């Protein structure tokens, strides 16, 4: 513990680097998944081949990709971020497609019938309705990206992954445990932030929760009452 406190600024720097290396690729993955997802929903035949390619890329070992990319991008952040961005597609792309497909047909038809053009319908109706499913995919992508960054430690760009390698080489388990704890904390905080963003963007879902909660309270209140009799 005292080791952790005496190295706070170094740990803070590594955590920040880990967050940066993990989250930027997820944002890139989202930026790529949105247009690909929209295309796959419009032209359904595109979806299976696209998903196939993404799944194959996802199957490539991270370390192998890092090493292969060093030849092109050198020992830079980019070398770590490109594979992570590709991996994030595996959970974000299907969630964009599922989210858009979950828009009820009558809603889509009603929007068209009221005079929404294709783009306006996509941006003001379909994407907002897809948000909960897309964010569910983002949560998986963020957490796995945060833990995958540490593999980059093997090529010297790994955020908190540095602690594992350093700790292992020095036979100093405290450092490894602190690394694990910080990665878990970083994942938790990121996840909570995403849940918060979802609640902010989907007030209509909150209304469901509120209504269900009210109903639940009413029910449990009446149970309590019956019990008292």
Using CB under 8 A, list all residues that contact other proteins.
104, 106-107, 109-117, 125, 128-129, 202, 204, 207-208, 211
Q: How far is the CB of 185 from other proteins (least distance, A)?
A: 33
Q: Which residue has the tokens 């849940």?
A: 195
CA gap 14, 12 in Å, rounded: 5
Residue with smaller CB distance to other proteins, 53 or 110: 110
Q: How far is the CB of 117 from other proteins (least distance, A)?
A: 5
Q: What are phi and psi of 104, to 5 degrees?
A: -60, 140
Residue with smaller CB distance to other proteins, 99 or 159: 99
Residue with smaller CB distance to other proteins, 64 or 210: 210
Q: How far is the CB of 204 from other proteins (least distance, A)?
A: 4
Find how far residue 27's CA is from the centre of its chain. 9
**In 3D, which of 7, 2, 1, 25 has the Cα closest to residue 166?**
7
Q: How far is the CB of 110 from other proteins (least distance, A)?
A: 3
Residue with smaller CB distance to other proteins, 117 or 228: 117
- Alpha-helix runs per DSSP H in the chain: 2-6, 8-42, 47-59, 62-73, 77-101, 105-113, 118-121, 127-148, 161-169, 173-201, 203-228
Q: Are 141 and 88 in contact (CB under 8 A)?
A: yes
CA gap 172, 160 in Å, rounded: 15
Q: Are 23 and 145 in contact (CB under 8 A)?
A: yes
CA gap 103, 89 in Å, rounded: 21
Residue with smaller CB distance to other proteins, 170 or 206: 206
Q: How many helices (H) and strands (E) does the chain have?
A: 11, 0
CA gap 192, 187 in Å, rounded: 9
Q: How far is the CB of 39 from other proteins (least distance, A)?
A: 22
Q: How far is the CB of 48 from other proteins (least distance, A)?
A: 23
Residue with smaller CB distance to other proteins, 128 or 167: 128
């Amino acid at each position: 513990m005292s080791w952790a406190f005496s190295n706070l600024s170094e740990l803070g720097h590594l955590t920040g680097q880990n967050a940066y290396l993990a989250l930027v690729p997820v944002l890139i993955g989202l930026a790529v998944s949105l247009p690909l997802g929209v295309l796959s929903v419009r032209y359904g035949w595109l979806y299976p081949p696209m998903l196939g390619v993404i799944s194959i890329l996802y199957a490539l070992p991270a370390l192998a990709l890092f090493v292969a990319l060093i030849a092109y991008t050198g020992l830079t952040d980019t070398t770590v971020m490109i594979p992570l961005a590709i991996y994030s597609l595996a959970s974000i792309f299907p969630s964009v497609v599922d989210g858009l497909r979950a828009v009820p047909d009558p809603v889509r038809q009603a929007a068209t019938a009221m005079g929404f053009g294709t783009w306006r319908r996509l941006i003001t109706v379909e994407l907002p309705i897809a948000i909960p499913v897309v964010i569910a995919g983002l949560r998986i992508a963020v957490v796995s990206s945060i833990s995958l960054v540490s593999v980059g430690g093997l090529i010297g760009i790994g955020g908190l992954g540095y602690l594992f390698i350093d700790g292992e080489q020095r036979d100093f388990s405290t450092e490894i445990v602190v690394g694990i704890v910080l990665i878990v904390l970083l994942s938790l905080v990121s996840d909570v932030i995403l849940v918060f963003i979802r609640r902010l963007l989907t007030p209509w879902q909150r209304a469901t929760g509120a209504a269900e909660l009210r109903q639940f309270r009413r029910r449990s209140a009446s149970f309590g009452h019956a019990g008292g009799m």
